[in-house]
Structure 1
Amino acid sequence: MKAFASLLDRLTLTPQRNGKIRLMVDYVASVPDPERGYGIAAITRDLSIASVKPAMLRALMAERMDEVLLGYSYDYVGDLAETISLVWPERGDGEHQPTLTEVVETLQRATRLDGPRLVEGWLDHLDASGRYALLKLVTGELRIGVTARLAKQALAQFGGKDVTEIEEIWHGLAPPYTELFAWLEGRTDKPVSAARGPFRPVMLSQALDEEADLPKIQPADYAAEWKWDGIRVQATSDQGVRRLYSRTGDDISGAFPDILELLDYEGSIDGELLVAREDQGSIAIAPFGDLQQRLNRKVISPKLIKSHPAFIRAYDLLQDGEEDLRALPFADRRKRLEAFVARLASPRIDISPLVPFDDPDHLAALRANPPTDARIHEVAEGLMLKRWDSAYVPGRPKGPWFKWKRDPFVVDAVLMYAQRGHGRRSSFYSDYTFGVWTGPEAAPELVPVGKAYFGFTDEELRELDRYIRNNTVDRFGPVRSVRAEPDHGLVLEIAFEGLNRSVRHRSGIAMRFPRVSRLRWDKPPSEADRLENLERMLPRDASPKKVRKASA
């Protein structure tokens, strides 16, 4: 357990991607089976411990500490596991600590009645770092800045393998992955995945360099498609086993049972997951906000499936029956895809249409002003450009595929609230709620329009933190209300990908991927944008020539 606890601590405090990989490589190289396998499974969220829930931990803590004091402590720290790990009264000597294997295997056999008491006993014998690791493990709420794919890349580096080899067999493996480590260390052959409907590592695109790459984009060499505003998925059906994967290989089938019903074929489609909406008697793509209603849900109600029906817009065909098509040129795969989708005859699996163009200038004009028919200008993020002769190569090869996203929207907003961050930012106010002006010009008021927690440097974070502490006017638990008046406040330049209407937000709008693009220390709050400016950017009201900068 000590090694796992140390790994979590160091991963939390290491911002660099390569540094995190190095830490995980060192961990699996120094920790034996099955301990290391359970550690990796915890990081990749492939461990499920049903016998312990956060409410149970609060109940345990209530037996040891005044609830009001616990509440104050939690408000200050901002994380339940970290709070309990710091205030839990130590009763043991810290030497007789459980192993990670003991914890996982014991809890997997335990009932919900036994689970909390088991955790209680271990907490008594762990130090603060060990308690934090244990609590993060049992709740499954690791916020350490490591994705499942990054952990797989660390395993690939450890074994001197290509990460795509690991991704292709991952869903046929189970913790603690002893057969995987045996192969990575050269002690046995590569495991043969017994899983049906395997994930096939996706091919990704490079961002287009307009100066260097755009002149190369000619119709004879490249196909153009719209870049749809959904999430990239892989829909696979193999001998009765149907799975829906995200681009990183996470199985999201459980959230989309209506999609699984559509996969009445043998093969694997690469495409975009979208949500449909009725629009004047016809079916159209709904904004990304509608898709968000379906994502990351453990239980999907029939009502939600009916109100937010999902569908797939197919980009590519990776497997047709038993035939692997990935080595074929894109032009051939596209023909096969068109025939495949036509055979399905499903209104909820269609094909992404090609965008005809004459030359790079024509393509640039289409990107800047997408057609208004079929509301493409509302739901397309830009263009995808694919070489006709490109094979489907996992990873992000340079040259075959480009993405050319539209310029982001930019508005000036006023900082209203701030909250402490997590991990290495837990001592800084790094999560910001910002707003724009509404109401009469003589008596304007701010209305929140979004939240952002990245886009600034470490030095700017320290400046923001100082400003927030010196300009706090009220506190709500871990949240601080910051002074925000027409003549006193901080303006943040916010970049975002688009807006959706929202009945859940007081402003009536929701931002897509907001981030801080600049701190406007020079600009008085009275000159920040108004809500009416953002309302003009909403999809249904936007014109093809909308101005991306709301105000100067």
Structure 2
Amino acid sequence: MNRFAFLLDRLSYEPRRNAKIRLMADYFRETPDPERGWALAALTGALSFRHAKPGMIRGLIMERTDPELFAMSYDYVGDLAETVALMWPGETRANRAPPLSEIVEGLHATAKLDLPKRLAAWLDALDETGRWALLKLITGSLRIGASARLAKTAVAALGESHKPDDVELVWPGLVPPYEDLFAWMEGRGERPFADDPAPFRPPMLAHPLEDADFRSFDPQAFVAEWKWDGIRVQASAGKDADGRHVARLWSRSGEDVSGAFPDLVEALTFDGAIDGELLILRDGRVQTFNVLQQRLNRKAVTPKLTAEFPAHIRAYDLLFEGGEDLRELPFSERRKRLEAFVAREANPRVDLSQIVSFEDWDGLAAARLDPASAGAGEDAAAVEGLMVKRHDSPYVVGRPKGLWFKWKHDPMTVDAVLMYAQRGHGKRSSFYSDYTFGVWTEDDEGEKLTPVGKAYFGFTDEELVELDRFVRKNTINRFGPVREVAHEREIGLVLEIAFEGIARSARHKSGVAMRFPRVARIRWDKPPHEADRLESLERLIEERENA
């Protein structure tokens, strides 16, 4: 465990991508099985523990320290694992530090009632860094600046001829501690074989398209289609070894979301794999993302829910058909196969993403600004931009340059007043970096600010320091870890908030919900009383509904 803790500690302080890869590759090269396999599972987010939860950690530390002192320390530090690791009393009280494999197996096998005692024993046996790593492992939020893709890149570096995409392609069929994967990478074994009839295939992603980019490209080399405001999914289906039909719905990150959409999975009767957008269709019209959210993250899926929010796939690409891998074919050929596939299947739950006609880049820019007039029709309000793809592009894992681009609508903006702030986590635990903002409304008591959203990104490190300083100097009240910031008509700070979408929401006090809000600009030049009113957001919603 100490070696894994040292790796996490080094990664958390290392800003350079290639250096992070070297650190992980060295660890995988020098660490035996199964330790390195469990480490890889932790780095890629493949571990979860049913009984080990943050509440258990809080209970343990409050038994051993003053609860008020813990609350104050946690408020100051902002990170549960770091706070408990530093506050855990006493020196190391064991002759050996437990290996990572023992901890993982123990977290899986120990009964819920026995787990607090066992966790306390592990914490007693580890130093501060080891305790921090153990608690990060349990909470599932490593926050060390190393993505799953980066960890797989480090695994590929163990072999002389392997690429990260090689790891991605076999990854869906693997299970921790990945001994067969490491054997293949090091030339000691064969390529792992996956017999899953409905596996996940890692997706191809796009780069944002800027004006300076596409003006240098030949428009005749590209094709465009609408980018729908839903959730990117992969529908995969086939027959298992016993001849039974198996169908699954995967998220873009490879999470099996079939259980949340049983009505859609039941309709996947084909043999193949489709890349598309998950949408809600009512009477043939695409609904807004806010409507789709009613189906997301539901623990119970009732017949009433599936009837009221019928799930649908709008197909972008065809990856497999009847056991044939189509990903090496150019997009133009895959598109022809997709059109024939959708027409042949005639599945009411699957339709075809529309191709957008254009002669030159100016024509495509006009279509982006007015989807309704460019063929999107009544569904224009559910279009969030364009996908621009080379005719000859194969379906490549990851985000290759020059093949696929996304050209989203310009974000909407609103000037809002900073009302509350809270410390961030990890490297931001010392800064007030999570902000609640509001706009003006009026009732019988006069004008007041109503919260409309939260934002925690969009600003630079230098701007974060300025924002943190403002919060500390202008705090007027505290509610646990949250600071209330002065926000009167003449005293306060205005933030220009950019967001991708907006819709009505009965769950929010303001009645509106923003999608992906972020701080676009700090308006030091604007007094709070000139910030926007709630009516301006309601007008945006009306415009989208009437589009």
**TM-score, length-scaled by structure 2:** 0.91
Is 2:493 the counterpart of 1:486? Answer: no
Superposition deviation, residue 467 in structure 1:
0.9
Is 2:52 the counterpart of 1:52? Answer: yes
- Residue 143 of structure 1: SS of its match in structure 2? coil
Superposition deviation, residue 374 in structure 1:
4.4
Superposition deviation, residue 19 in structure 1:
4.5
For 1:208 and 1:264, the matched residues in 2 are separated by 36
For 1:481 and 1:351, the matched residues in 2 are separated by 49
What pairs up with 1:400-479 in 2 under 5 angstroms? 400-439=403-442, 443-479=446-482
Q: 1:267 to 1:30 in 2, by over 3 A?
A: same
**Aligned partner (choices 251, 259, 268) of residue 264 of structure 2:** 259
- Residue 152 of structure 2: SS of its match in structure 1? helix
Q: 1:96 to 1:300 in 2, by over 3 A?
A: farther
Superposition deviation, residue 31 in structure 1:
2.2
Q: Which is further off, 169-178 or 332-341?
A: 332-341
Q: Which amino acid in structure 2 is aligned with residue 147 of structure 1?
A: S
Q: Which amino acid in structure 1 is aligned with residue 135 of structure 2?
A: L
For 2:21 and 2:287, the matched residues in 1 are separated by 38
What pairs up with 1:253-402 in 2 under 5 angstroms? 253-276=258-281, 278=282, 282-296=283-297, 300=301, 302-371=303-372, 374-402=377-405
- Structure 1 alignment gaps of length 5 or more: 545-552
C-alpha contact 1:197 1:243 (8 A) present in aligned 2: yes
Q: Which amino acid in structure 1 is aligned with residue 495 of structure 2?
A: L
Q: 1:216 to 1:63 in 2, by over 3 A?
A: closer
- How far does the alpha carbon of each residue in 1:203-257 deviate from its partner, in whole angstroms, 9 at most, with x for none? 2223334344247454x54322111112222111121332222333333334333
What pairs up with 1:155-194 in 2 under 5 angstroms? 155-160=155-160, 161-194=162-195
C-alpha contact 2:433 2:468 (8 A) present in aligned 1: yes
Q: 1:265 to 1:28 in 2, by over 3 A?
A: same
Q: Which amino acid in structure 2 is aligned with residue 247 of structure 1?
A: R
Superposition deviation, residue 515 in structure 1:
1.3
Q: 1:541 to 1:321 in 2, by over 3 A?
A: closer
C-alpha contact 1:384 1:403 (8 A) present in aligned 2: yes
| Partner in structure 1 of residue 90 of structure 2 | 90
For 1:135 and 1:456, the matched residues in 2 are separated by 29
- How far does the alpha carbon of each residue in 1:23-72 deviate from its partner, in whole angstroms, 9 at most, with x for none? 32232233222111101111222123224233333333343234344333
C-alpha contact 1:8 1:144 (8 A) present in aligned 2: yes
Counting matched residue pairs gives: 539
For 1:46 and 1:298, the matched residues in 2 are separated by 21
Q: 1:5 to 1:254 in 2, by over 3 A?
A: farther
| Partner in structure 2 of residue 238 of structure 1 | 238
| Partner in structure 1 of residue 506 of structure 2 | 503
| Partner in structure 1 of residue 150 of structure 2 | 150
| Partner in structure 2 of residue 548 of structure 1 | none
| Partner in structure 1 of residue 138 of structure 2 | 138
For 1:56 and 1:317, the matched residues in 2 are separated by 46
After superposition, the CA RMSD in angstroms is 2.5
Q: 1:209 to 1:64 in 2, by over 3 A?
A: closer
- How far does the alpha carbon of each residue in 1:90-119 deviate from its partner, in whole angstroms, 9 at most, with x for none? 253465211101111233222222222211
- Structure 2 alignment gaps of length 5 or more: 240-244
| Partner in structure 2 of residue 550 of structure 1 | none
C-alpha contact 2:76 2:430 (8 A) present in aligned 1: no
- Residue 481 of structure 1: SS of its match in structure 2? strand
Q: Which amino acid in structure 1 is aligned with residue 274 of structure 2?
A: I
C-alpha contact 2:168 2:397 (8 A) present in aligned 1: no
For 1:444 and 1:197, the matched residues in 2 are separated by 57
- How far does the alpha carbon of each residue in 1:358-381 deviate from its partner, in whole angstroms, 9 at most, with x for none? 433222111112207744332111
For 1:289 and 1:12, the matched residues in 2 are separated by 36
For 1:116 and 1:386, the matched residues in 2 are separated by 53
Q: Which amino acid in structure 1 is aligned with residue 315 of structure 2?
A: A
- Residue 437 of structure 1: SS of its match in structure 2? strand
C-alpha contact 2:371 2:377 (8 A) present in aligned 1: no
Q: 1:429 to 1:16 in 2, by over 3 A?
A: farther
**TM-score, length-scaled by structure 1:** 0.90
What pairs up with 1:3-42 in 2 under 5 angstroms? 3-42=3-42
Q: 1:100 to 1:516 in 2, by over 3 A?
A: same
**What percentage of residue pairs aligned between the two structures are identical?**
58
Q: Which is further off, 456-465 or 101-110?
A: 101-110
